[in-house]
Amino acid sequence: MQLVLIGPPGAGKGTIAEKVAAKYGLAHLSTGDMLRDAIARGTALGAEAKEYVETGRLVPQEILGRVVAERLRADGNFILDGYPRTLEQAEFLSGLPGVALDAVIYVAVREEEAFARSRGRRVCRACGAVSGADEADVCGRCGSSDLAARADDRPATLKKRYDVYVRETAPVIEYYRGHGLLREVDGTGGREEVLARVEAAIGPALARGDDNG
Ligand code: ADP
């Protein structure tokens, strides 16, 4: 199964994608996580991407495209989280060999709720896992207590990211609606509630692979 997850910054994409990946046996590919990881490790990709990520701008497709293409070559069943974010990226993705998306899950959240969630979240400096404001003071994945605010969650940067989302990513939603792939889910409420809606949107047929023939 090949899924794309789209939603504004703070929609909870990372949390949802991780759970969906585990439940359906998919690779979880988050471009945000890949970039943060590359920056933390000081790789060539990290050096190229740092400035963009920390100021809330999109990393150019010339830089990110080859990374995504490489990762997707290795994984036939995936949930893509944070990609595509522009029409250019959506077209690039559909042109990649082996890519035939089954569904695009759009998690809809209003701006105020998205902001409130992003403001309190923290990233683990040891393993990169992101946790919400309402979670424990130790990392839920590795147990480290070295948690910090995400560099791009400052209010001004958050506003910028939301504006970029409205301008660049909203057209991607319409693109997939036009291709009959879009499944819209209400992203307000608690984690379990949202996850249940996402699973309902994926549906048993898709999970069994009926739509793939
Ligand atoms: P959020 O969805 O909360 O904004 P992400 O972790 O998905 O957070 O992305 C963080 C940052 O990484 C973005 O603001 C951007 O700078 C960069 N990034 C992630 N995915 C892409 C993408 N598909 N295209 C360009 N830049 C990206």
pLDDT at 211: 55
pLDDT at 5: 97
Ligand 1 midpoint to CA 134 (Å): 23
pLDDT at 213: 41
Residue nearest to atom 18 of ligand 1 (CA): 32
8 lines ligand 1 (CB under 6 A): no
Ligand 1 midpoint to CA 213 (Å): 33
Give me 159's structure tokens.
């506003």
| Per-residue model confidence as pLDDT tens for the chain (213 residues) | 999 999 998 888 988 999 999 999 999 999 999 999 999 899 999 999 999 999 989 999 999 999 999 998 877 899 999 999 999 999 999 999 999 999 999 999 988 888 887 777 888 888 888 888 778 888 888 999 998 887 788 888 888 889 999 999 999 999 999 999 999 999 998 889 999 999 999 987 787 776 554
Measured CA to CA, the distance from residue 64 to residue 49 in angstroms comes to 9
**Distant-in-sequence, close-in-space partners of 10: CB < 8 Å, separation ≥ 6:** 109, 113, 114, 115, 116, 117, 118, 121, 158
Give the residue numbers marked as catalytic: 13, 85, 121, 150, 161
56 lines ligand 1 (CB under 6 A): yes
The whole-model pTM stands at 0.88
- The atom of ligand 1 lying closest to the CA of 130 is 6
72 lines ligand 1 (CB under 6 A): no
The number of residues making up the chain comes to 213
